[in-house]
Amino acid sequence: MEAERRPAPGPPSEGLFANGHLILWTLCSVLLPVFITFWCSLQRSRRQLHRRDIFRKSKHGWRDTDLFSQPTYCCVCAQHILQGAFCDCCGLRVDEDCLKKADKRFQCKEIMLKNDSKVLDAMPHHWIRGNVPLCSYCMVCRQQCGSQPKLCDYRCIWCQKTVHDECMKHSLKNEKCDFGEFKNLIIPPSYLTSINQMRKDKKTDYELLASKLGKQWTPLIILANSRSGTNMGEGLLGEFRILLNPVQIFDVTKTPPIKALQLCTLLPYYSAQVLVCGGDGTVGWVLDAVDDMKIKGQEKYIPQVAVLPLGTGNDLSNTLGWGAGYAGEIPVAQVLRNVMEADGIKLDRWKVQVTNKGYYNLRKPKDVLLLRNKAELSI
């Protein structure tokens, strides 16, 4: 029998071609996702640098957020957004693409005004459209605002009053701002403008200037430790900037209390109040600064001190009736109401030296204890 014939082998190039295809597809399947991930990371880094550059140059207090806590609409394009940036002074909310436009188009809270007598006598409202607080009511028709699922209605960033779009057109063209519920705690921009002019003229009669604001005017200075309470102080700083003049809000990790309290010297005698947001250490730091004011002969400017305890171990705050800790259980607006209703008492502060009797002619070092002395606290 004849031997069976075997088929002739194909050319070697076909196997190499198939293996090359397999290697190429393998490389594409591995390298393409890596390349896309790298490209996305690069673009994200560029956007972050761009945002930081805008934040640094802006007069707004922009902050990033990955998720807004309530239904939010961009103040520029009016689209519904889940994440973006917001200003913790005036409350503007925008998406990433509209940030630059919003920064140029909208004006933030001004801590001082232009030296215009008409503006100083009666400050107009500063309205911002959309994203009004939940359960807010129109100051004209007394109906609920912000109930429609779109960018609508207005809020004044100073008095926090809200108004419908239609009511705005017909009723509030010439309305003046009275700074709302917390007018007795707010330092008006017009006051600081007048103070600046008086200092140029070498005048210091602040009592006459403050008389226009009424006898009940007791401006409040916020001294918060942004690192207290698992960084809860940082969020409180923004909430207080919304309700008060940003010039009244200080982060003690950036501005020491002794410098922040110099703002009291621009206010009438015995009128200033201070709210300390932090633990016992922060409160003690502020009281030390109050003592320094007394040493400098600034007794007439020494403020009353209230406490908003953050974190744990707040024995001083608990003893004075402000509680053992604050975790956001009540709104910041209610905290301000509590300060307005509080009564002032005297608090003693003593410096005690304890000397131990030595043994074998060896004298032990002295122990120095600081106890609270003659600083007014509100309870």
pLDDT at residue 248 is higher than 50: yes
Give residue-wise pLDDT tens across range 100-159.
999 999 999 988 887 655 555 678 899 999 999 988 999 999 999 988 899 999 999 999
How far is CA 136 from each of CA 46, 145, 155, 160, rounded to the nearest angstrom?
39, 6, 10, 9
Residue 282 CB contacts under 8 Å (≥ 6 apart), including other chains: 223, 225, 228, 252, 276
Q: How far apart, in whole angstroms, are the C-alpha atoms of residue 339 and residue 306?
A: 7
H/E segment holding residue 18: helix 12-57
CA atoms within 13 A on the CB side of 73: 20
Amino acid at 378: S
**59-109 and 218-378: same fold?**
no
For the chain, the structural domain boundaries read: 59-109, 218-378
Give residue-wise pLDDT tens across range 165-195.
988 877 666 788 999 999 999 999 989 888 8
**pLDDT for position 374:** 40
Q: How far apart, in whole angstroms, are the C-alpha atoms of residue 106 and residue 86?
A: 12
pLDDT at residue 251 is higher than 90: yes
Both tokens of 247, joined, read: 């010039």
CA atoms within 13 A on the CB side of 37: 5
Q: How far apart, in whole angstroms, are the C-alpha atoms of residue 378 and residue 306?
A: 5
Question: Could you name the CATH architecture of 218-378?
Answer: 3-Layer(aba) Sandwich (3.40)
CATH of domain 59-109: 3.30.60.20
